[in-house]
A and B are shown apart, each in its own frame.
Chain A
Amino acid sequence: MATIFIDQRSYDVPDGMNLLDASLTLGFNLPYFCWHPALGSVGACRQCAVKQFRDEKDMRGRLVMACMTAAAPNTRISIDDPDAREFRKSVGEWLMVHHPHDCPVCDEGGECHLQDMEVMDQQTYRRYRGLKRTFRNQDLGPFVNHEMNRCIQCYRCVRFYRDYAGGRDFDAFFLRDRVFFGRQSDGVLESPFSGNLVEVCPTGVFTDKTLKLHFTRKWDERTAPSICVHCAAGCNTIAGERYGLLRRIRNRFNGEVNGYFLCDRGRYGYEFVNGPRRVRAPRIAGRADAAAPSDAVARAASPLAGGSGAIGIGSPRASLEANFALRALVGPDRFCSGMGAAEHRLVSEVLRLLQEGPAPAASLHDAAQADAVLVLGEDVTNTAPMLALALRQSVRQQPMKAAAALRIPAWDDTAVRNALQDERGPLYIATVAATPLDDVAAATMHAAPDDLARIGCAIAHALDQAAPSPRGALAADAALVGRIAGALRAAERPLVVAGVSLASQAVLDAAARVAHALHAAGRPVRIALVVPECNSLGAAMLGGCDLDDATALLWPGSPLIVLENDLPRRCGADRAARLFERAGELVVVDHTLTPTAERATIVLPAATFAEGDGTYVNGEGRAQRAFQVFVAGGDVQESWRWLRDLMRASGRGGAAAAWETLDDVTGALARELPAFAAVRDVAPPATFRIAGTRIAREPARYSGRTARDANVTVHEPEPPGDPDSALSFTMEGFQAQPPPAQPPSALIPRFWAPGWNSVQSVNYYQTVVGGPLRGGDPGLRLIEPAAPGAPAAAGRAPSAFEPDDRDWLCVPMYEIFGSEELSALAPSVAALAPRAYVALNDGDLHRAGLREGGDAVVASADGTCRLQVRRVASLPPGVAGIGVGLQGAPWMRLPDRARIHPAERDR
């Protein structure tokens, strides 16, 4: 720590921290633009000027940029100095030379950092008489709107897009007061993190294009803390609604998980909530009209009442509470996780590895901090996008030591990048085909799943002779295997990344062996295991059987209850149809009219993540609560409430039938299953109050509450109550504000601080700017490995993959846009989703007589399907990639062998 003096008062700050960071951490209002806690300092905007004095005798001082100046013992600065104020005000005036003076009608107004800073600078009068420069804007695709006339040339966008996220198709062009930030020509931004430009931009150059389709002011948004449901990373979000429409998703800072950023699937997938396929009223097959909830429940409950063998199929995309309620309704023995057999087995294996160890799970923050990484089998950009962004930062960890040796502070971003140039730490990627993260890898290997497992085993063997060595030739160079082992062993924070996306037990085993070998060598290894969905791990923790077992358990004619799950996606249309035929009543509780729901005898309209509270367990084992944002219209209620209603109507479920609130459910869950003991503490209970009041979902400036329904009634309707959380649905209650009255982290519905209306207000909620939220980052890890850790897996490494003359080994390939069920229902995401495809390398395309872009017929044991042909040069010979979950792709068991031939021959 260093004692510094700001305007002649002393403060203790970390030695070497830059003075802007320090000033903001201490709560001073010091304006800035180009600096960003995650991007560091570059000194471009010159807005954070302060006066620095040599010592206490120095009365003149000189202006320095706070962001570019390190705090040292006895540093003396003045923020309030007249010269500093004058200069900062001038910066404000310069920025307004070209910036439009249209704040009242600008869509960024009210959440614009520039607007806040101009107010802070007290820059109110316009002296510049000249013309403002104008640009031609670009169409950047369905996510990001471009309005360059607002640009203040702070360079944050290009620094995030290129330096931080590794994008290549976006840059700064031209010079002087006409720097253009965009693409070389119009076109969809290629980076899957492009949506962050919306939050990184301090003004309205880049805005959320989907919000524009149903725009509302920030202060008119009812918001709640939420969790992204589009992969297992569990990124924290702020979901905003008005007039019953979910308007947008923004980042919610969580230092352990997503930090300041989101992926585009997570930011833009939300529109399924507003989509035309939503179920908003109960449906009873054969009836044209919507059914009354009581009728639907009575009808669904009657076959259950007899105590017959109803089977409940849960879901890895539904909350813990919903799954647990289903389990209570049908009983643990007749509860199914909702996953297909292979997926259930692999996700359960992931759970076992995390529980038994020895390597603890890595958070996204841990992944970014790792200084040597092996990725085995997982195309993380497409299966857990934010993990890819974290790993992109991890390659900076080792070179940063060299920068430190040159006495360059880590926050001095340009200096660090100039010193390190292209030097990167050890990130080794072994996958079936090239991945978008390969550009920062020290080496990449592309091989069939078994060969990847063999590479993993060889690395484990190099680390620990006790691990089995694969026999025969390896798909990777022996020297490379040695280098990888050496880098992992030498690292201070080694990380192994794998997952279930290849559906390969061997790959998962091999990753575990590497982690085990590192642990045996005394290295503090962590492991990140990617699972498919937002609550995959939670569903696995609840136990239950897989879909195959459920089919076997189902007595013909017995009721089948499906919770938020579309079974053809899990086991194929044919098997699902057989299951449905076998079942008596098919009751589906879901928010979306899936093919399963279309087959149902009764559909009960469930709440989405935005319409009901729920707890989700991410891939790290972190339980996190998503809070209801608004009360959905119609008969929509939380799945667990529908299931509870079924318990009540059928006389089943025992004590669970008495559940009234979410806390009742989580309480029962914690009591019944010890693994979930902590789940009650994920967020404060519904009885929690600050100053005797709830926390308001609507901001203090929420407008029109008395006029909103005036066309219907002049009486203001009674606001809905919230029995499930400590949040209120209106503006009544505690308005979230930084200390001393900051809500608990899990209950912060939005970030706002006096004078800070933009996302940057999060600064004031953190212990140190850029660091964890005060009171700790939200979420609780439910899983920590038991000491001393399980023994290494027994058995040998798999034998090498042999390409077949006639068949191809089909393996799954994932798409960030299209492979995930719910986000693919959002129009913006769907616009970027590819057609269902089969991918082959050049030699195999030739061998199969296929043409890129043409159609192929893929014939496997599960039937034949017609897919578009894609060329992926990096695929190993004999291996075909099948795009998973895409529109028009029939289900097929993967991996599996299949014949592939041109569709023309079929005719």
Chain B
Amino acid sequence: MTDRPLTGRMREDGAALDLRAYERAGGYAALRDALRRLAPAEVQKRVKDSGLRGRGGAGFPTGQKWSFVPMGADAPHPKYLVVNADEMEPGTFKDRLLMERDPHQLVEGVILSAYAIEADVAYIFLRWAYKLSEARLARAIAEAYDAGYLGRQILGSGYSLELRLHISGGRYMAGEETGLINALEGRRANPRSKPPYPAVVGLWGRPTVVNNVETICNVPHVIGRGAEAYRKLSATGEGGTKLYGASGRVKRPGLWELPLGTTIREILEEHAGGMRDGVRFRGLLPGGASTDFLVDEHLDAPMDFESLQKHGSRMGTGTMIVLDDRTCPVGMIRNLEEFFAQESCGWCTPCWAGLHWVADILRDFEEGRGEMADLDTLAAHARLLAPGNTYCALAPGAAEPLQSGLRHFRDDFERHVREHRCPWR
């Protein structure tokens, strides 16, 4: 049995751990310990040393992100910690599990993380559709307030924190760090340009850290076990475990907590049970819709941040979407690009106009109107919708499955043109 700090204590029956069960399983011990013995800087250092990287998709080192927040007596207040629970990446459902089954783990992580940056107020920004998470988080937060884990002078320490649950309006862009901040301020969920970074100018102009649910859930374990022990949980040294998932025509779609750096093949074949009978594997998006396709030759790569980057993709959220030979790859990409085009906030031209055009061309392919020259137009978009050319990462994310799809499935695109139809229909 592998060590599963995030999910190991979850109940088999699907119910959430309540406060007492969470405490019995060792919960809030890390918080008690930290408030008694660790200064905020020491919490930050431990997280930095643990190698914990953001689990929302970008993989930015969490301790480093915290280190940009102005600290000490001269720092502006209130400071904010915001938990990004707006899980809207296609194919991704890992945060939902954490919130539904062990909400106190998240609450404890929030308090520890907020303490590390001396935040005064924390928000959990929750996807509107996660009704069960909402109910269970609301209850856990109430329990935590009653038990003195939240509010004024937490556990008799000098530290105070208010935690609020905010339900998102339901836009993909509200899950982007700065779009989220705008949404929380009641504005359009457009991204903000950086610099200034949220750590300096964030929510309501104050220093703010935005972390993903899974990232925050790791923090109690980093503090509880120590940086070194936590780092050793991984298979490749990037620190900790990871919730990996698989969807598509595999035998057992699902979610598993495994050492960070487990190979794709192991996840796909051992945990997901391999492809369903009668279909063959063609490729996969390793971590949500905005990552590049990986194919057969990549299956032995470890699923961690560094390795997948070497193969031209990204780990993203670590929840793979599997493409089989009975599904049209052009149709899959069209579906993804339509999603991205629809979720564009409408701010920068390459995104709102470019993605609309891309989706339009892909619809033409599906309906037999595609032309060979369109492939050049698509390739040009995949190239031009690059980081820096656009205002935020949405369009570059959309370009990832497009450009890798054009590379790996070019024949399928060309068949659509030659046959004036979708061969899978």
A residues with a Cβ closer than 8 A to B are 42-47, 49, 62-64, 68, 86-87, 90-91, 94-95, 97-98, 127-130, 152-153, 155, 172, 174-179, 406, 408, 412, 414-415, 418-421, 423
B369 proximity list for chain A (CB < 8 A) = 129
A63 touching B205 in the complex, CB below 8 Å, given contacts A127-B377, A412-B193: no
Is B391 part of the contact surface with A, judged by Cβ < 8 Å?
A: yes
Beta-carbon contact of A175 and B345 below 8 Å? yes
A47 touching B346 in the complex, CB below 8 Å, given contacts A177-B356, A414-B192: no
A420's contact among B205, B360, B390, by CB below 8 Å, is which?
A: B205
Cα of A177 to Cα of B342 in the assembled complex, Å: 8
From A90, A155, A408, name the one whose CB has the most chain B CB atoms within 10 angstroms.
Answer: A90
Is B232 part of the contact surface with A, judged by Cβ < 8 Å?
A: no
Beta-carbon contact of B346 and A176 below 8 Å? yes
The B39-85 residues at the A interface (CB cut-off 8 A) are none
Stretch of B141-149, B195-203, B271-279, B405-413 at the chain-chain interface = B195-203
**A-B residue pairs in contact (CB < 8 Å), sample of 21:** A43-B348, A45-B349, A46-B349, A46-B350, A49-B389, A90-B384, A91-B349, A94-B349, A94-B353, A129-B364, A130-B356, A130-B360, A172-B188, A174-B346, A176-B341, A176-B344, A177-B341, A179-B352, A406-B196, A415-B193, A423-B205
A87 touching B353 in the complex, CB below 8 Å, given contacts A174-B346, A176-B344: no
Cα of A172 to Cα of B347 in the assembled complex, Å: 10
Cα of A42 to Cα of B349 in the assembled complex, Å: 12
A153 touching B349 in the complex, CB below 8 Å, given contacts A46-B389, A406-B196, A421-B204: yes
Query: Which residue of chain A is the closest to B206 with respect to CB atoms?
Result: A421
A45's contact among B348, B354, B364, by CB below 8 Å, is which?
A: B348
B349 vs chain A, min Cβ distance (A): 5
Beta-carbon contact of A97 and B357 below 8 Å? yes
Query: Which residue of chain A is the closest to B386 with respect to CB atoms?
Result: A63
Beta-carbon contact of A177 and B352 below 8 Å? yes
A175 touching B346 in the complex, CB below 8 Å, given contacts A46-B391, A415-B193: yes
4 extra interchain contacts, Cβ-Cβ under 8 A, other than A64-B388, A90-B354? A44-B349, A153-B347, A176-B346, A415-B193
From B204, B346, B357, B384, name the one whose CB has the most chain A CB atoms within 10 angstroms.
Answer: B346
Q: Which 5 A-B pairs have the closest CB atoms?
A: A94-B353, A179-B346, A130-B360, A176-B344, A177-B356
Is B343 part of the contact surface with A, judged by Cβ < 8 Å?
A: yes
Cα of A179 to Cα of B352 in the assembled complex, Å: 9
Beta-carbon contact of B342 and A94 below 8 Å? no
Query: Which residue of chain B is the closest to A41 with respect to CB atoms?
Result: B193
Cα of A94 to Cα of B389 in the assembled complex, Å: 13
Number of residues on chain B facing chain A (CB within 8 A): 39
Cα of A45 to Cα of B386 in the assembled complex, Å: 15
B192 proximity list for chain A (CB < 8 A) = 414-415, 418
B201 vs chain A, min Cβ distance (A): 5
A175's contact among B171, B195, B354, B360, by CB below 8 Å, is which?
A: B171
A46 proximity list for chain B (CB < 8 A) = 348-350, 389-391
B281 vs chain A, min Cβ distance (A): 33
A412 proximity list for chain B (CB < 8 A) = 193
Cα of A95 to Cα of B377 in the assembled complex, Å: 15
B69 vs chain A, min Cβ distance (A): 14
Is B129 part of the contact surface with A, judged by Cβ < 8 Å?
A: no
A43 proximity list for chain B (CB < 8 A) = 193, 348, 391
Is B372 part of the contact surface with A, judged by Cβ < 8 Å?
A: no
A175 proximity list for chain B (CB < 8 A) = 171, 173, 188, 343-346
The B318-356 residues at the A interface (CB cut-off 8 A) are 341-350, 352-356
Is B380 part of the contact surface with A, judged by Cβ < 8 Å?
A: yes
A406 touching B200 in the complex, CB below 8 Å, given contacts A98-B353, A153-B346, A176-B342: yes
Cα of A90 to Cα of B389 in the assembled complex, Å: 11
Query: Which residue of chain B is the closest to A408 with respect to CB atoms?
Result: B196
B171 proximity list for chain A (CB < 8 A) = 175
A419 touching B388 in the complex, CB below 8 Å, given contacts A175-B171, A176-B343: no
Bitwise interface map of B from 372 to 394 toward A, beta carbon under 8 Å scored 1, else 0: 01000100100010101111000
Beta-carbon contact of B357 and A90 below 8 Å? no
B355 proximity list for chain A (CB < 8 A) = 176
Query: Which residue of chain A is the closest to B198 with respect to CB atoms?
Result: A418
A97 proximity list for chain B (CB < 8 A) = 353, 356-357
Cα of A104 to Cα of B341 in the assembled complex, Å: 31
A99 vs chain B, min Cβ distance (A): 10
Bitwise interface map of B from 282 to 306 toward A, beta carbon under 8 Å scored 1, else 0: 0000000000000000000000000
B380 proximity list for chain A (CB < 8 A) = 90
Cα of A172 to Cα of B187 in the assembled complex, Å: 11
A155 proximity list for chain B (CB < 8 A) = 347
A419 proximity list for chain B (CB < 8 A) = 196, 201, 205
Query: Which residue of chain A is the closest to B351 with respect to CB atoms?
Result: A176
Beta-carbon contact of B196 and A415 below 8 Å? yes
B377 proximity list for chain A (CB < 8 A) = 127
A87's contact among B200, B341, B342, B384, by CB below 8 Å, is which?
A: B384
A451 vs chain B, min Cβ distance (A): 37
The B173-187 residues at the A interface (CB cut-off 8 A) are 173
A414's contact among B193, B342, B353, B390, by CB below 8 Å, is which?
A: B193
B348 proximity list for chain A (CB < 8 A) = 43-46
From B341, B344, B353, B389, name the one whose CB has the most chain A CB atoms within 10 angstroms.
Answer: B353
Cα of A172 to Cα of B182 in the assembled complex, Å: 15
Beta-carbon contact of A418 and B364 below 8 Å? no
Beta-carbon contact of B193 and A68 below 8 Å? yes
Beta-carbon contact of A94 and B354 below 8 Å? yes
Query: Which residue of chain A is the closest to B201 with respect to CB atoms?
Result: A419
